[in-house]
Chains A and B, each alone.
Chain A
Amino acid sequence: MTSLVWARPDALWLLALLPLFAVTGIWLGIRRGRLQRVTLVWRLAVVTLLAIGLAEPLIASGSASGGAVFVVDHSASIDAEAQDAADRWLKDALASAPPTRRAAIVAFGAKPVLAMAPGVAHDLLADNAEATSGVDSAEVDPAFSDIAAGLGLARALPLGGGRRVVLLSDGAENIGQAIDEAAQAALESVPVDVLVLPGVSDEDLRVEGISAPTSAWEGEPITVLAGVETGRDGPATVDLLVDGQVKTTENVDLAEGLNSRAFTLDDLGPGFHSLEVRVKGNADVNRRTDDDSVPHGIVVRDRPRILLIVPEGADSGIMRGILERAGSEVTVAEPADIPSRLSELGAWDGFVLDNVPATFLTFDQVAGLREATRSLGRGLIVIGGTAAYGPGGYAGTPLEDALPVTVKVTDGRERQRVALLLIMDKSGSMGYDPLGGKGKIEMAKEAVRLAARSLVEGDQIGLIAFNDRQEWVIPLTTIGDESTRAAIDRKIAAIEPDGGTEILPALSVGLDAIRNADADARHIVLLSDGKARTGTRESYQRLLDDALADRTTLSTIAIGEDADTDLLNFLADEGGGRYHFTVRDEDIPRLTLEEARSAGSQSVIRGAFRPIQSAPSPILAGVDPESLPDLAGYDFAEAKPDAQVILTSDREDPVLAKWQYGLGRVIAWTADNGSDLAAPWAMWEGYDDFWAAAVRWALPDPERRPLTVSTHRDGEDMVMTVTAAGESGDFADFLPTFATVTSSSGEPIVSQELAQTAPGEYTLRLPAPAPDAYAVEVRQERASGPLVEAAGITVPQSPETLPAPDGPSLLASLAARTNGRILSLDDPAAVWDASTTGGSPLREHRAVWYIPTGLALALFVIDIAARMGVWPLLRRLMSGSPRS
């Protein structure tokens, strides 16, 4: 429909001049014969045309009813077949448009573009039969869907009122908020009709995702769980690629739905690795190929560093060998050598205390270990024995705080009454000191005093001093109040060294006496610096067999090089106790006290039993609980409420317990390292694996580092967040922090400083690189020096490869909120059925002012020609008449 409108209608008032021209022309010209009528007509026409020209006439063309803007989804979630269907529908809709209806086409992915400028719908079709298929995919960026942007452009197009927006999409929005645009469209009375296109099918063969750690220790088995989804049963090939090379290929028969495949990697070297799971299947079930692989980045950290702490002189070989075979880098240290500062302890990833008494450690050292576990997240494994836990004086120390078990005796029912018999060599050599010191005898006396004080009320203590013959210095005496201990002190003081060394009689007398003692645990400690002149191994063996039958144990302390070390060692081994050797007199009290505590603290429970698995744990993964070897004893302890007890004794006491302590993990093993209480375990073939699993569990999560890197995708950007913990576990603020991102092939992607945005948080926003796994190195400048952490990040495939089950619901919401309709693929002509509201539609205006103005000039010339009498001349010239 075409019509004439005036851009400057006020100019038509100039037509009021016409009467003036007419009156003057008639009165002054025509009536006086000076003007012909036709001249007046010409002049009036000139003025009229000029007035019309100045009023700026516009030819308006177009429909009186509203147009439609088609907003077509060109994102990757719409496959070629659906795109073709949409294109056909669009063409049919344009073809069925009433003749004067206008239309425009917007295509969108991450960005909207105007595919067809507004025009008459039929012309759009004629001009470009391909409708939207010619849209440059790079221009729309099909990796994302920003429906809001498409609707925004459709709303912004100057089509006037009465328009409809027709959205062709699967509704898989992943940028923007279309519901916001719908609200704006509703305010402008612009209805949004929707045509739901098929999106990503959940029946197509694809890798649904990978579940794998982003960080692991070297040597640690890495499990990669891949989910493969298919819509139909059938064969497929699943590949695991490591650093671009196929590592494992599995030919599998997939069942409809989700199929999980597990891969285990245990030979990845330190550093960043790019993993990828890829699936291949028949074309009929694998129509899309952009969802057939999923990348994953992982950083394998160097072998964990373990600090193995053993008492001075103790054999570290057993645990050291176990830990090294478990893949750890082991440093062996004696208590005196371990640091107490967190910054120094932080050099290790875990600590193993192998039967170390708390008394060997300073308070600062114990507190340092506790804090390294709690604040720095280091692992702590505490191995029991006769010098750890209760015997080791853990009760009430910071170390006990960190343990999942309580060391102290909690009620009388569990309290064991102890009978401790000390058999002390008082031969003449015990009183000899070439340096003029106190001599061994004085040290031994002191040891007896300490032992007496370490026992509690109800326990019994006895002392036999021997040289060539034995003497009951203190018969087995039940310890009572302080007067008992004072009496013991007085009796000890009277001992004088003299004579030779005869062990067997003294031992025989002692064993006879203690055998009848009314106690739960009976223990003998034999101290000697000389060689026995009588007794055979067989005679000793008989004594010891009888003692063990009565649950009496014997430990020995050999003092000096002259001691009968072979015999004493033999006695301890066969007596179920421990053998100590020292050349320093001042060690005598400590060793004796240790033995006294071992026996007297009611914490070592001896007796063979098979541990019972009380809870599943990765430490015992794959182990048949029935196949566990017996233990010969354990340190008595009680599980704390939050602890997870994995193994218990036959008395339901914890043998293996673990828990999370602050940021760190702690394991309590109340048996020993296999030298005594757990000796049968040392022979067990699964012993190494047991400790390897325990160490793996206790070690800090390789992902939990002082600098942790996380990423998330925000539209087309990737936001990298580095969370920084200070040395004491608090926020690390105001520190220059840099990140370098490199591709799996080593190509640098970005290297930039991060900006702090929150306490302990630093952020970097960058355009998301292509889907793949990337290595990240984060460097933070700290007062103690630069802290560098490696991490792996994964930029996932475009969300366009994922099914969007909520898409149709979103489209329905857009339509409902705008009074729109849900259209059908079968009825494209329905686009034009609905009535439109919201103002007059845009009509195309063409300026034609130059036509009346040009005509005015032409008539003006004609007017002059007429007045100048040119017409008669022209007539004569045209008729060929001679000039008059």
Chain B
Amino acid sequence: MNLLAPLSLTALVAVPIIILFHMRHTTPTRRPVPSLRFWEAATPRPADARRLRRPPLSLPLLLQIAAAALLAVALARPATAAQLAALAPGLHAEPRHLILLLDGSTSMNATPGGTSLSRWEEARREALHRLAPLRQGDVATVILMGTRPVTLTATDDASLIALRERLALVAQPGGRADLDAALALAGDLFLPNLDREVVVISDGAVTADPAVVAGVDAPVTLVIAGAAEGDEERANLAAIDISARPSPNGDGTVGLYTSIANFGPRSVTVPVSLQGDGLEIGRSQVTIAGGGAVEPLRWQLPPGVAELIVRIENADTLVADNTASLLPGETATATIAPRILLMSDLPGALARALMAIENVQLTVEPSDNLTAIAAGDYDLVVFDRTAPSTETLTKIDTASLWVGPPVGGPFVTAEGVTDPQVTRVRAGDPLLTGVDLSGATFGPTPNFTLGARDEEIVGSADGPLLFRTQMNDQPAVVLTVDPETSNLPKRVAFPVLIANLVEALAPDGIPAAIPLGEPLVYEPRASTASVEVVTPSGDAVLLPVFSAETQADQDKGDIATGSVSRDIVYTDTGAAGIYSVTETDAAGIDLGTTHFVVNAGHARESDLRMDPHLVAALATASGSGITAPRQERVDLWPLVALIALLVIAAEWIAALWPVVRSATKRPVPRGAA
């Protein structure tokens, strides 16, 4: 126990003052007596003639001393460790700012043997317990540490209640906790006149940089969820990598790579199975050394497998990372991937480059099939050495890519055809990222002329070779060269260039995989009004597509409108598995579905072992005088003041008690009151 305001102990001066009062001889009071018979009794004794006397050891005096001393001690703010907190919740007086760093990473999903609660649930309980004593005037900040930290704040009674309710229901964010980032954020949450206290509730499988901890400028308390477990109890196997690449042999097969890590203390041998589209297509007996050793595995897959699942057939503390999924065939099955229409009479290198782009739907139509364009519903129309009639041109209401447009088409050309050499290049343009044009030849190319709104990306002495423009107010890019006469298609640069062009012109597709806890951000198609995301557990979430105009109508406020992003943001990706995404238009018509995968295995998060340096690192926080785990400080003054009040009440009774007795037995002695 220590005193937080020791100077207030000067109030103990009240004790000698009270004693002094009792040591003083009181002056006889004027008392009328009915008869001289009692006069003698009324005459003071010789001892009373002295100014001071020994203090009488009376109950009132003792109670008065006790009450004054208790009040003085209360003013000095005695405080102690948290053992008493459970007995007397809320025993603190100064408003304080409690910052809880609650580890919501994947490793907190572990359920230690013999318990029914996961570490996350234990940590959540601890957090709620720490929030319970907070009162009006206190501020609480909860930073949920996942791949993406989520901050919850309460600054008054109402918001404290709301915070507790939200915390009780919030889903585990998942992913990899960045304690350093959370500590840095906590260090910035400075409020004047508030005591700050930072409490880290974690399984200890996180790291902290002492330099960051030192900048927190507040005491840091570490509470370990599952503290009693050793490495044996924290042993875990995980599939930490999974990826696939088409075989360079061009035979359509796919190479699958995965790695299994063993974070237990000893070597284990486990079966690992591979399922393709629901059927077991591979199985290996894998022996992995302990202590974080990794065993890589590779399978050669037949063409056409759409869904792959690697499963470690072993029960351990963290089950979520025993499975890793991959969707190598998602391109083929996705129905809301960007739709590209290729108008070509002789699909060649361009068609091959477009087909090689992941996560797009490619439709090839001959140039005379004008209904394909008129039908619309494409995100990008690519014209391969062809151009539609002027009438059809006006029907293009989406982005377009023009490759080798013919003379006489929609773009202005000058006289002549040249064999151009690159003389100008906007090398930093995103369209040219990763594109090396050195050594490229282009073949006979018409001399195009740039319009006022066109922007040249690559040019030759005789005209542009690649430029941005607009077609019906939609973005368009023109590659003036004929890929069949150029050496570009034979170079690595060509597929990269075409991928860049598609990325610039077509909306983003949904990635096939998202790291655990990272938000899904993508732009749905223009006609999409809402997006439904179904989680691996089957829960469906409906996300409306943002529309600035609609928002303005609803709010009738002065909000920004204009060119605003329609991106969908879906954040609850903390559970591992396969998510489905379905787009619906305003009429409720299903526009298509695709899937993405979230895997739990991670080289860092699947390692459930406690970081041996964590305790020492957190102890370096300013204000941390003791090594972790530290305990919450409790103010005792209310208890002391309450006792003082009781003592004062007792003293009151004691002071009146002689009066009660004298009323029945004898007159009240002098000076008793």
Residue ranges of A at the interface with B (Cβ–Cβ < 8 Å) = 5-8, 11, 14, 17, 21, 24-25, 28-29, 32, 34-35, 43, 46-47, 50-51, 53-54, 56, 58, 60, 106, 111-114, 117-119, 152-153, 155-161, 177, 179-180, 183-184, 194, 208-214, 222-223, 225-227, 258-260, 262, 294, 615-618, 621, 644, 659-660, 665, 697, 701, 703-704, 710, 725, 729-731, 733-734, 756-761, 802, 809-810, 812-813, 815-817, 819-822, 834, 839-842, 844-847, 849-850, 853-854, 856-858, 860-861, 864-865, 867-870, 872-873, 883-884
CB A842 to nearest CB in B, in angstroms, measures 4
Nearest-neighbor residue (CB-CB) of A59 within chain B: B137
Of the A-B pairs whose beta carbons lie under 8 Å apart in the complex, a sample of 7, sorted by A's number, is A17-B645, A34-B656, A225-B438, A262-B423, A809-B563, A853-B637, A868-B24
- Choose among B75, B94, B247 the residue that contacts A854 (Cβ–Cβ < 8 A): B75
> How far, in angstroms, from A616 to B641 measured CA to CA in the complex?
99
Whether B27 lies near A884 (C-beta < 8 A) is: yes
Q: Which of B135-189 contact A (CB under 8 A)?
A: 135-137, 139, 141, 143, 148-151, 153, 155-156, 158-159, 184-185, 188-189
Cβ contacts under 8 Å, B189 to chain A: 114, 156-158
Residue ranges of B at the interface with A (Cβ–Cβ < 8 Å) = 5, 8, 11, 14, 17-18, 21-22, 24, 26-27, 29, 64, 67-68, 71-72, 74-75, 90, 93-95, 97, 135-137, 139, 141, 143, 148-151, 153, 155-156, 158-159, 184-185, 188-193, 241, 243-245, 247-249, 255-257, 259, 296, 298, 419, 421-429, 432, 434, 436-439, 441-444, 456, 459, 485, 487, 490-492, 519, 521, 546, 548, 551-552, 555, 557-565, 567, 569, 571, 637-638, 641-642, 644-645, 648-649, 652-653, 655-656, 659-660, 663, 668, 671-673
Whether B641 lies near A869 (C-beta < 8 A) is: no
Nearest-neighbor residue (CB-CB) of A834 within chain B: B558
Nearest-neighbor residue (CB-CB) of B565 within chain A: A813
Beyond A43-B652, A227-B426, whether A853 also contacts B139 by CB under 8 A is no
> How far, in angstroms, from A119 to B653 measured CA to CA in the complex?
50
CB A597 to nearest CB in B, in angstroms, measures 33
Beyond A29-B659, A117-B191, A615-B485, whether A861 also contacts B14 by CB under 8 A is yes
Cβ contacts under 8 Å, B551 to chain A: 816-817, 819
Cβ contacts under 8 Å, A821 to chain B: 558-560
> How far, in angstroms, from A214 to B436 measured CA to CA in the complex?
9
20 further contact pairs, Cβ within 8 A, besides A258-B424, A758-B245, A856-B71: A7-B93, A14-B645, A29-B673, A47-B648, A53-B641, A153-B188, A156-B151, A158-B139, A160-B155, A180-B571, A260-B423, A616-B443, A617-B487, A731-B248, A817-B565, A839-B159, A850-B5, A853-B74, A853-B637, A868-B26
Beyond A152-B151, A211-B425, A759-B244, whether A815 also contacts B560 by CB under 8 A is yes
Cβ contacts under 8 Å, B17 to chain A: 861, 865
Cβ contacts under 8 Å, A156 to chain B: 141, 143, 151, 153, 185, 188-189
Beyond A54-B645, A734-B296, A853-B641, whether A227 also contacts B559 by CB under 8 A is no
Whether A180 lies near B21 (C-beta < 8 A) is: no
CB A343 to nearest CB in B, in angstroms, measures 18
- Choose among A25, A114, A618, A761 the residue that contacts B656 (Cβ–Cβ < 8 A): A25
> How far, in angstroms, from A600 to B487 measured CA to CA in the complex?
36
> How far, in angstroms, from A11 to B637 measured CA to CA in the complex?
14
> How far, in angstroms, from A492 to B298 measured CA to CA in the complex?
66
Whether B136 lies near A7 (C-beta < 8 A) is: yes
Cβ contacts under 8 Å, A858 to chain B: 14
> How far, in angstroms, from A210 to B422 measured CA to CA in the complex?
13
Cβ contacts under 8 Å, B137 to chain A: 5, 7, 58, 60, 845, 847
- Choose among B193, B428, B438 the residue that contacts A208 (Cβ–Cβ < 8 A): B428
CB A408 to nearest CB in B, in angstroms, measures 25
> How far, in angstroms, from A187 to B18 measured CA to CA in the complex?
61
> How far, in angstroms, from A151 to B257 measured CA to CA in the complex?
39
Cβ contacts under 8 Å, A809 to chain B: 562-565
Whether A258 lies near B456 (C-beta < 8 A) is: yes
Beyond A853-B75, A860-B14, whether A58 also contacts B492 by CB under 8 A is no
> How far, in angstroms, from A615 to B485 measured CA to CA in the complex?
8
Whether B438 lies near A730 (C-beta < 8 A) is: no
> How far, in angstroms, from A856 to B421 measured CA to CA in the complex?
95
Cβ contacts under 8 Å, A50 to chain B: 71, 641, 644-645, 648
Whether A733 lies near B26 (C-beta < 8 A) is: no
Nearest-neighbor residue (CB-CB) of A819 within chain B: B559
Nearest-neighbor residue (CB-CB) of B150 within chain A: A184
Cβ contacts under 8 Å, B193 to chain A: 844-846
Cβ contacts under 8 Å, A734 to chain B: 296, 298
> How far, in angstroms, from A849 to B442 measured CA to CA in the complex?
85
Cβ contacts under 8 Å, A114 to chain B: 188-190
Closest 4 CB pairs of A and B: A209-B427, A209-B428, A759-B255, A815-B560
Whether B90 lies near A8 (C-beta < 8 A) is: yes
Cβ contacts under 8 Å, B673 to chain A: 29, 34-35, 867
Whether A759 lies near B14 (C-beta < 8 A) is: no
Nearest-neighbor residue (CB-CB) of B489 within chain A: A660
> How far, in angstroms, from A21 to B656 measured CA to CA in the complex?
11
> How far, in angstroms, from A117 to B638 measured CA to CA in the complex?
31
CB B340 to nearest CB in A, in angstroms, measures 23
Cβ contacts under 8 Å, A211 to chain B: 422, 425, 427, 432, 436-438
Q: Which of the listed residues B14, B296, B492, B564 has the most CB atoms from chain A within 10 Å of its own CB?
A: B564
Whether B11 lies near A857 (C-beta < 8 A) is: yes
> How far, in angstroms, from A60 to B136 measured CA to CA in the complex?
10
Whether A161 lies near B656 (C-beta < 8 A) is: no
Whether B136 lies near A58 (C-beta < 8 A) is: yes
Whether B655 lies near A616 (C-beta < 8 A) is: no
Whether B444 lies near A845 (C-beta < 8 A) is: no
Cβ contacts under 8 Å, B190 to chain A: 114, 117-118
Whether A860 lies near B296 (C-beta < 8 A) is: no
CB B270 to nearest CB in A, in angstroms, measures 19
Whether A194 lies near B426 (C-beta < 8 A) is: no
Whether A867 lies near B655 (C-beta < 8 A) is: yes
Whether B648 lies near A227 (C-beta < 8 A) is: no
> How far, in angstroms, from A860 to B296 measured CA to CA in the complex?
79
Cβ contacts under 8 Å, A710 to chain B: 434
Beyond A46-B648, A813-B564, whether A208 also contacts B141 by CB under 8 A is no
Cβ contacts under 8 Å, A158 to chain B: 97, 139, 141, 153, 155, 189, 191
> How far, in angstroms, from A500 to B135 measured CA to CA in the complex?
130
Cβ contacts under 8 Å, B422 to chain A: 211, 225
CB A546 to nearest CB in B, in angstroms, measures 45
Cβ contacts under 8 Å, A213 to chain B: 436, 438-439
- Choose among B24, B247, B564 the residue that contacts A816 (Cβ–Cβ < 8 A): B564
Nearest-neighbor residue (CB-CB) of B549 within chain A: A816
Cβ contacts under 8 Å, B642 to chain A: 54
Beyond A152-B149, A260-B425, A864-B64, whether A223 also contacts B438 by CB under 8 A is yes
CB A801 to nearest CB in B, in angstroms, measures 10
CB B218 to nearest CB in A, in angstroms, measures 13
CB B451 to nearest CB in A, in angstroms, measures 14
Beyond A117-B192, A756-B296, whether A179 also contacts B249 by CB under 8 A is no
Nearest-neighbor residue (CB-CB) of B97 within chain A: A158
Cβ contacts under 8 Å, A14 to chain B: 645
> How far, in angstroms, from A621 to B441 measured CA to CA in the complex?
10
Cβ contacts under 8 Å, A873 to chain B: 24, 27
Cβ contacts under 8 Å, B567 to chain A: 179, 813
Beyond A209-B427, A734-B296, A856-B71, whether A840 also contacts B188 by CB under 8 A is no
Whether A857 lies near B71 (C-beta < 8 A) is: yes
> How far, in angstroms, from A710 to B422 measured CA to CA in the complex?
24
CB B653 to nearest CB in A, in angstroms, measures 7
Cβ contacts under 8 Å, B74 to chain A: 853
Beyond A50-B648, A54-B642, whether A617 also contacts B441 by CB under 8 A is yes
Whether B151 lies near A155 (C-beta < 8 A) is: yes
Whether A849 lies near B71 (C-beta < 8 A) is: no
CB B150 to nearest CB in A, in angstroms, measures 8
> How far, in angstroms, from A844 to B551 measured CA to CA in the complex?
35
